[in-house]
Chains A and B, each alone.
Chain A
């Protein structure tokens, strides 16, 4: 599940433990990939948290609801890297 972790982060969380090698692969991929709005990714064995700058998105998209845009970018990244279907 994705949820808003405050106003500057979205977190993907699952109850099953994410394998350490998978986390490492995702971290490396995140650091090597260019992102539109995601600035950082923090991982634990159950979560992947994506940091973003909300006002930047608000101004670029003329909206005050940036959450959906960030979740879409985070989900696309995880799908592209084969973590989510």
Chain B
């Protein structure tokens, strides 16, 4: 039994947390929004690196073929199932034959759907209509308790509130870690301008439009690195997870990993500003975010345990 992809939406892919090799023809370069991927897994009691379904701009329509516990995180897409509203960052139990559909949202770009016990695909991981996503059913005692709790009502009353995540997603300001060989003039131009997302090449790059910036040519072949900020014809190109190729486009800095969550939620038309920082500052910010994420996940565990104890009494 499995999840049936009735409509694959604009772009849906089964994705891992970390980059990993695949022998089955799939490309696993990691979730673009790593926080949303981990959050969805945390809610359904999975390991943070269990595979999720990453859906971009217009999410897929999914049919369930057996009782399945799910949660999804990321952009504020709202879903419906059996005329019941389905919200992000909450836990649901769907039954055989249930179909989950999503309504378009003007904000955000990607959601990550996790299934209790994990999921997998055979062959390519880009989903097409009619594809089946296999359920691993690696159920733990936590999953069994969740199934028992959700047997009578198919959702948990609480979830992670949008306000809790505002700090991560809401700002349009992105840090760039400076390079020692790029002039201050280039960074001043970058910081003084506002840019707009012209287009996204799926999971590869975001192309921006705005003030043209022309650094002195270095004639260096730069590595393609997630978060890299490159200039092509004076316009910034921001590298996402699948940007693997080397490039002679000028590399002027790299967006730190703690801002990649919100970058991957920017869509065509979104506005962006930049602030150039040193590596030391980026590490201090990363550490602060890491502590915050750990405390959020602990709070979810605590809340779930409390709910499960309440159910047993």
Contacts and interface: CB of A to CB of B under 8 A. Distances in A.
Interface of A: 1, 3-9, 11, 13, 15, 42-47, 49, 54-55, 58, 64-67
A3 B179 contact: yes
Given A3-B179, A6-B254, A66 B225 contact: no
Contacts of A49: 223, 225
A67 B221 CA distance: 23
Interface in B266-281: 279-280
Contacts of B223: 5, 11, 42-44, 47, 49
Q: Which 3 residue pairs spanning A and B have beta carbons closest together?
A: A6-B254, A4-B279, A7-B256
Interface residues of B, number: 28
B280 A67 contact: yes
Contacts of A64: 280, 283-284, 287
Contacts of B220: 13, 15, 46-47
B34 to A, nearest CB: 12
A6 B287 contact: no
A2 B223 CA distance: 14
Interface of B: 177, 179-181, 218-223, 225, 227-228, 246, 253-258, 279-280, 282-284, 286-287, 290
A54 to B, nearest CB: 6
Given A42-B223, A49-B223, A7 B180 contact: no
Which residue, B220, B279, B286, has most C-beta atoms of chain A within 10 A? B279
A66 to B, nearest CB: 6
Contacts of A9: 225, 254
Contact of A67 (B180, B258, B279): B279
A47 B223 CA distance: 7
Given A6-B282, A7-B282, A67-B280, A47 B254 contact: no
A7 B258 contact: yes
B258 A44 contact: no
